[in-house]
Amino acid sequence: MTQIITSSPRTRPGPRLPERYTRTAIVLHWVIAALIALAVVLGLTADALPEDWIRPAIDLHKSFGLTVLGLVLARILWRLTHPAPPLPGAYARVERIAAHTVHVLLYGLMLLLPISGWLHDSAFKDAAAHPLSLFWTIPWFRIAAIQDLPAAPKEVLHGQLFALHTWASYALYALVALHVLGALKHQLIDRHAELQRMGVGRSKRAESATSRTPYLGDAQK
């Protein structure tokens, strides 16, 4: 009796999801992080510098802030067209919600801080004596609607915008701390490849591919 063996059609595997961010996203992430760190250091230490260094430090702080604004906008546009790699499946639901919430708030603060600083600088009463430029090279403009206000309301707005800029920076410090602690918790305690997603070290997929590569040294002798 002849037995007919039928085989089910082979299902084509779906597209493999990325394990890490794109190279462009990784570069933008670390450049933005470095510029924010430098801007924070200058903002916190400018008043303690020698008198001749204060104005250059403040100007450099502004240049870093405006550069961050442009890079964050570029990062958002890149993110919209290049989705982030999925979170590890072992993440609890509350961890996924917390991760997405912190990321959204971080993007919001990374926009609010340079914008509030730009508006604050536009309300500077001595702005005419200190033209705004990027790294003392590229002339930049101030917000005319604020710069042209009468002296009294402009001075009030200058103080209010400074307070907004200051409190937004405190919120950013707290969120960055949560972001870093969360990443280290997943990396060191949960043993997830968290840092590898942002280009630090090799991904598990790359390591497994390397481990499966046969050693041909003896065969080539």
| Cα distances (Å, whole numbers) of residue 192 to 41, 185, 198 | 32, 9, 13
Burial of 171 (0-12, 13-18, 19+ CB in 10 A): middle
Q: What is the spatial distance between Cα 140 and Cα 129, in angstroms, rounded to a whole number?
A: 14
| CB atoms closer than 10 angstroms to residue 194 | 18
- Report pLDDT for 219: 42
Residue 213 DSSP class: S
- Report pLDDT for 215: 42
Rounded to the nearest 5 percent, the helix, strand and coil shares of the chain are 65, 0, 30
- Report pLDDT for 184: 78
- Report pLDDT for 201: 58
Nearest residue to 172 (alpha-carbon basis) of 78, 35, 80:
35
Q: Which CATH class is domain 23-200?
A: mainly alpha
- Report pLDDT for 190: 64
139 backbone dihedrals φ, ψ, rounded to 5°: -60, 140
- Report pLDDT for 179: 84
Token digits of residue 199: 């280009």
pTM of the model: 0.78
Q: Where are the domains of the chain?
A: 23-200
Inter-residue contact 139 to 133 (CB < 8 Å): yes
Mean pLDDT by 10 residues, the chain (221 residues): 47 52 90 95 90 92 96 95 80 84 93 96 87 93 92 94 96 91 74 67 48 44 41
**CA angle (143, 114, 48) in 5-degree steps:** 105
Q: Find all residues with CB under 8 Å of 171, minimum gap 6, and list them.
A: 105, 109
Question: Dihedral through CA 169, CA 174, CA 178, CA 184, nearest 10?
Answer: 80
- Report pLDDT for 126: 85
